């Protein structure tokens, strides 16, 4: 791709008026594509067909249109029809409306200019703001505003030293600690955790806990990973803190990565701001917490008993037994379908509160009532034998997608699907984007239980890397999806948020300020009382 110096033609266009000419056309086609994709998603939800743009030369359907920035022509790239059009019509530029990349026919290359990049981002954000509505209030999305540093921000940056933040650093194996390293790498590449700790929401130098603060260890971890140090980092204090707080994980024997994951989440929760026992809004629950709904149906009287339970991750059963060949293939969506399909209960497992009898026909069904910002899946690869001897590993392959739509497994959509038999086809509530997730980390277990080894893949920006303790190597998406996953992590493509809601850390700080003022007032009242008592004693 040619930069600003590589293409002398884009500079003349980029310095022009954005309301006319190629720049106006570029903005219009990007906005058109965002709305087109949104309408296609809505049509898919309602099972309606939408028109697809076609190539102006061969009439083939264009799922990735290239549009001329000088006329109304749209063509395909693979057959060179769009470049042929530019040459024949003596037009200079065409745009890939999905990525915003611009092709210069004179340079015969894709080109870059910062103003074009800014224009693309502004067009996408503006179009998404107009298309997105809040699920409950039906109001438009809050307008995006670029961050502009205030005077305190500028003052805080004075005398600061910038360092290269590569975010790709290996971790030393401290003795059978690969289980810890892969989980820590998944934390480092979790965008919500990364933004929280790099945003200085917990500073280990200002923490008031005396010792064993896992949030302080997370702050140190992010500071080390995003430093300019190229060599691998040894998370020694993180390991020691874990040993002190979780005796079952202490020692140098191999541990289960999922067990360490759950234990560390609990430790971060207990030491983070905003941590409460009810409706917790700490960083862990704000990132991983969702809700599961369990519906028990008495088929004698059709009474439904529903219970809602919190969840931090989802553990899924795999088809195939331990020791079998890996011919039995599983899919993530298939596992989720089995997870949410009705299950028959025995007559002694449930007594109906309505008819007052132990029903012989009872079914139980799980669904996801509330989707979390980050979905964590664990595949149950280790099973205990019937005679309670040593556990064995299930080596069957699990197919999982790079993008995941969770709508079919949510409570609101499953209930709407049930009513479809008695009415017209249903449409997903709210914008379809609220159900879509993108893969960002995968943890693999290689070998057997007693002599196995953990590795993982993680996405940094738009590139994938394989992390094997100290070794960090580039990877392709194909190799990620072909791996034998033990855990998968997905992040919501569009995060839910409530406008005009004060962030948790701000509320926490405000509460701290109020408490400090109350303590100062109590001290002042105590001093006044001492003075009064001293005066009374002299009378």
Run of H or E including 490:
strand 485-492
pLDDT at 296 over 90: no
State which of 110-114, 229-233, 259-263, 505-509 shows the largest mean pLDDT: 259-263
Q: Which of 131, 151, 185 is the last residue of a domain?
A: 131
Residue 143 lies in a domain: no
364 shares its domain with 270: yes
Higher-pLDDT residue of 41 and 99 is 99
Instruction: Tell me if 140 is assigned to some domain.
Output: no
DSSP assignment of 231-242, as one string?
Answer: S-B--HHHHHHH
Could you tell me if residue 390 is inside a domain? yes
Of 265, 298, 279, 446, residue with least CA distance to 364: 298
pLDDT (tens digit per residue) in 453-492: 999 999 988 789 999 999 999 999 999 999 999 999 999 9
Whether 422 is in a domain gets the answer yes
Predicted pLDDT at 304: 80
Do the strands 109-111 and 343-345 form a parallel or antiparallel pair, or are they unpaired? unpaired
Average pLDDT over residues 103-118: 86
Domain closes at, from 73, 108, 131: 131
In-domain check, residue 1: no
Angle at CA of residue 227, ends 224 and 231, nearest 5°:
75
Using CB atoms within 10 A of its CB, is residue 157 exposed (0-12), middle (13-18) or buried (19+)?
exposed
pLDDT score of 326 more than 50: no
> pLDDT band at residue 9, thresholds of 50, 70 and 90?
confident
Q: Is the pLDDT of residue 169 over 80?
A: yes
With a cut of 90, say whether residue 168 has pLDDT above it: no
Q: What is the total count of domains within the chain?
A: 2
Measured distance CA(321)–CA(449) in Å, rounded: 15
Pick the more confident residue, 251 or 390. 251
Whole-structure pTM value: 0.70
Does residue 200 lie in a domain region?
Answer: yes
Tell whether 320 and 445 lie within a shared domain: yes
Same domain, 187 and 110: no
What digits encode the pLDDT tens for the residues 68-97? 998 989 999 888 899 999 999 999 899 998
Residue 364 reports pLDDT greater than 90: no
Question: What is the phi/psi pair of residue 231, to 5°?
Answer: -80, 165
Same domain? For 125 and 253 the reply is: no
Looking at the fold, whether 119 and 179 belong to one and the same domain comes out as: no
Q: Is residue 155 part of a domain?
A: no
Query: Between 257-271 and 214-225, two packed helices, what is the crossing angle to 10 degrees?
Result: 110
Query: Domain containing 55: what range?
Result: 10-131
Q: Kindly tell me if the per-residue pLDDT of 500 is higher than 80.
A: no
Do 287 and 422 have their domain in common?
A: yes
Distance CA 405, CA 409 (A): 9
Boundary residue ending a domain (131, 148, 181): 131
Q: At what angle do helices 236-245 and 257-271 cross, to 10 degrees?
A: 90
Domain co-membership, 216 together with 313: yes
Q: Is 130 left (phi over 0), alpha (psi -120 to 50) or beta?
A: alpha
CA 389 to chain CA mean position, Å: 38
Residues 118 and 195 in one domain: no
Q: Are residues 216 and 298 in the same domain?
A: yes
CATH (domain of 191)? 3.90.70.10
The CATH number of whichever domain residue 93 belongs to comes to 3.30.40.10
Other residues' Cβ atoms within 10 Å of the Cβ of residue 29 = 22
The arithmetic mean of pLDDT across residues 150-171, rounded, is: 79
Mean pLDDT of 210-230: 90
- pLDDT greater than 80 at residue 511: no
Q: State yes or no: pLDDT of 425 exceeds 70.
A: no
- Asked if 339 and 471 sit in the same domain, the reply is yes
Same domain for 313 and 454, yes or no, is: yes
Half-sphere exposure of 67 (CA within 13 A, CB side): 23
**pLDDT tier at 4, thresholds 50, 70, 90:** very low
Output DSSP code: residue 18: T
DSSP character at residue 8? T
Quick one: average pLDDT of 36-50?
A: 67
Tracing tokens 């999922």 back to the chain, one arrives at 258
Within a domain: residue 27?
A: yes
Catalytic residues: 178, 453
Q: What is the pLDDT of residues 429-453, one digit of tens each?
A: 666 677 889 999 999 999 887 778 9
| Distance in angstroms between the alpha carbons of the first and the last residue of the chain | 90
Q: Are residues 212 and 71 in the same domain?
A: no
Tell me how far apart the alpha carbons of residues 75 and 60 are, in angstroms, rounded to a whole number. 9
């Amino acid at each position: 791709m040619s930069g600003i110096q590589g293409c002398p033609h884009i500079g003349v266009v980029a310095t022009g008026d954005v309301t006319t000419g190629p720049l106006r056309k570029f903005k219009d086609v990007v906005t058109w594509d965002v709305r087109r994709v949104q309408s296609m998603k809505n049509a898919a939800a309602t099972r309606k067909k939408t028109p697809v743009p076609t190539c102006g030369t061969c009439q083939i359907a264009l799922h990735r249109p290239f549009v001329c920035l000088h006329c109304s022509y749209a063509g395909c790239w693979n057959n060179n029809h769009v470049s042929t059009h530019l040459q024949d019509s003596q037009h200079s530029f065409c745009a890939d409306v999905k990525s915003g990349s611009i092709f210069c026919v004179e340079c015969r290359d894709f080109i870059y200019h910062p103003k074009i990049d800014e224009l693309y981002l502004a067009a996408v954000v503006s179009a998404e703001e107009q298309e997105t509505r809040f699920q409950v209030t039906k109001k438009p999305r809050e307008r995006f505003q670029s961050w502009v540093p205030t005077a305190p921000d500028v003052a805080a940056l004075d005398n600061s030293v910038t360092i290269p933040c590569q975010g790709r650093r290996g971790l030393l194996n401290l003795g059978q600690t690969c289980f810890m390293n892969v989980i820590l790498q998944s934390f480092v590449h979790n965008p919500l955790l990364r933004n929280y700790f790099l945003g200085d929401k917990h500073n280990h130098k200002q923490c008031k806990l005396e010792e064993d603060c896992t949030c302080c260890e997370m702050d140190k971890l992010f500071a080390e990973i995003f430093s300019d140090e190229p060599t691998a980092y040894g998370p020694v204090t993180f390991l020691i803190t874990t040993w002190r707080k979780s005796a079952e994980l202490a020692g140098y024997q191999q541990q289960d990565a999922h067990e360490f994951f759950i234990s560390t989440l609990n430790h971060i929760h207990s030491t983070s701001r905003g941590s409460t026992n009810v409706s917790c809004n700490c960083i862990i629950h704000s990132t991983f917490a969702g809700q599961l709904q369990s519906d028990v149906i008495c088929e004698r009287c059709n009474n439904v008993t529903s219970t809602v339970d919190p969840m931090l991750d989802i553990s899924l059963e795999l088809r195939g037994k331990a020791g079998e060949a890996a011919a039995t293939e599983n899919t993530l969506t298939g596992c989720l379908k089995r997870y949410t399909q009705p299950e028959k209960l025995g007559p002694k497992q449930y007594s109906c509160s309505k008819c007052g009898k132990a029903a012989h026909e009872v079914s139980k069904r799980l669904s996801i009532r509330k989707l979390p910002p980050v979905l964590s899946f664990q595949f149950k690869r280790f099973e205990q034998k019937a005679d309670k001897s040593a556990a064995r590993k299930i080596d069957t392959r699990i197919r999982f997608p790079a993008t995941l739509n969770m709508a079919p497994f949510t409570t609101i959509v499953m209930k709407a699907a049930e009513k479809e038999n008695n009415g017209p086809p249903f449409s997903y509530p709210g914008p379809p984007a609220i159900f879509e997730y993108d893969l960002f980390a995968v943890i693999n277990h290689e070998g057997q239980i007693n002599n196995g080894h953990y590795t993982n893949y993680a996405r940094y920006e738009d590139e994938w890397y394989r992390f094997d303790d100290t070794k960090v190597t580039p990877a392709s998406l194909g190799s990620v999806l072909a791996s034998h996953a033990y855990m998968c992590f997905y992040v919501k493509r569009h995060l839910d948020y409530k406008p005009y809601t004060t962030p948790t850390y701000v509320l926490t700080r405000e509460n701290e300020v109020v408490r400090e003022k109350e303590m100062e007032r109590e001290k002042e009242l105590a001093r006044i009382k001492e003075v009064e008592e001293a005066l009374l004693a002299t009378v």
